[in-house]
Amino acid sequence: MSETFELSDPVKSSKAPRAELGAAVAQSPFIACAERMAEASAKTRNVLQIVLLLRVQHICNSLSTRLPKLLADAETLAAALRKMRDDGKLGPGWNTCVTRSERAMLLTDVLSERGDIFLEHEAAGCPPVLFYDYETAMEGRDLPLKSNYVLLRVSAARIGRASAEGALAR
């Protein structure tokens, strides 16, 4: 074992003959460990391939048994929609569906804008959102029990003018 470590010394290994180095590497316990790991990896890969194949087969079988019911339900829905159309009841239901879809799209748009504003605020280093003058009275980071709160003192002289300017800017 000590010979292996001696041969791993760069100064000594450069002087050692190639055949001697090859024999030391072949006898090294690290080679045996690497070979065992490679065998274990190959076995694991084979097991995972079999599991994946079985899972795909299960999914295909499950879908093939559920597909006829899905098609039957779709046909029932189509028949119900045809009946509503023939009875003249499809219009109000369709309008409700369109209205709700439009509301969902508007909500998604508002949430997207809110996210963009949040990201811009984060990129700017999270400056305070107040639009009037203030001074920091106490920071939560300075307290014995740390927090992310900051206590501010609003400058009274600028409140009226700043809030009027802020209201006009909106």
DSSP assignment of 115-140:
HHHHHHHHHTT------S-EEEEEEG
Residue-wise pLDDT tens digits, 129-139: 777 788 889 99
Contacts of residue 159, defined as CB under 8 A and 6 or more positions apart, other chains included, come to 132
Which sequence spans correspond to the domains of the chain?
1-91, 118-170
Work out the average pLDDT over 46-69: 87
130 vs 165, more confident: 130
CA 148, CA 155: separation in Å to the nearest integer? Answer: 22
Supply the DSSP symbol for 147: -
Give the model's confidence band at 56: pLDDT under 50 very low, under 70 low, under 90 confident, else very high.
confident
Question: Of 28-32, 58-62, 65-69, 144-148, where does mean pLDDT reach its minimum?
Answer: 28-32
Give the model's confidence band at 159: pLDDT under 50 very low, under 70 low, under 90 confident, else very high.
low
CA dist list (Å): 74 to 7, 67, 91, 148: 74, 10, 20, 54
Residues 134 and 163 sit within 8 Å (Cβ to Cβ): no
pLDDT (0 to 100) of residue 168: 47
Question: Of 17-26, 38-47, 135-144, 151-160, where does mean pLDDT reach its minimum?
Answer: 17-26
Residue-wise pLDDT tens digits, 1-40: 455 555 555 555 555 566 766 676 667 777 778 888 889 9
